[in-house]
Amino acid sequence: DAGVIQSPRHEVTEMGQEVTLRCKPISGHDYLFWYRQTMMRGLELLIYFNNNVPIDDSGMPEDRFSAKMPNASFSTLKIQPSEPRDSAVYFCASSYSGQIYEQYFGPGTRLTVT
């Protein structure tokens, strides 16, 4: 299995631009989680899906952030418009309902907003 795949690995953009991060979970996993990691705040859960349905988006910082999961093999996290304070590493993780807490993380997308 290829593991969780994220793209791009690095993204540099200017303030005000739209950013889209992509994730392909492990096949057969029915949970997908989006996290953000910074030195100051550590690893924060933004939103998670079960069977492609968003369950809890209470961690999404504000309306500029949105996430979708159109099918079991693909999810996006969009930031529009981006701001410098959004600079962080964004991780996607997946798990299956039998072992929901054993999450498998992707390599992350390092986002820099200038």
Partner 1 sequence: TQLLEQSPQFLSIQEGENLTVYCNSSSVFSSLQWYRQEPGEGPVLLVTVVTGGEVKKLKRLTFQFGDARKDSSLHITAAQPGDTGLYLCAGGDFGNEKLTFGTGTRLTIIP
Answer yes or no whether residue 103 interacts with partner 1 by CB under 8 A: yes
Q: How far is the CB of 92 from partner 1 (least distance, A)?
A: 8
Q: Are 32 and 24 in contact (CB under 8 A)?
A: no
Answer yes or no whether residue 107 interacts with partner 1 by CB under 8 A: yes
Answer yes or no whether residue 67 interacts with partner 1 by CB under 8 A: no
Read off the tokens for 77: 């996290």
Per CB under 8 A, the segment of 14-22, 61-69, 78-86, 94-102 that binds partner 1 is: 94-102
CA end-to-end span of the chain, whole Å? 36
Answer yes or no whether residue 102 interacts with partner 1 by CB under 8 A: yes
In this structure, the number of other CB atoms found within 10 A of the CB of residue 22 comes to 16
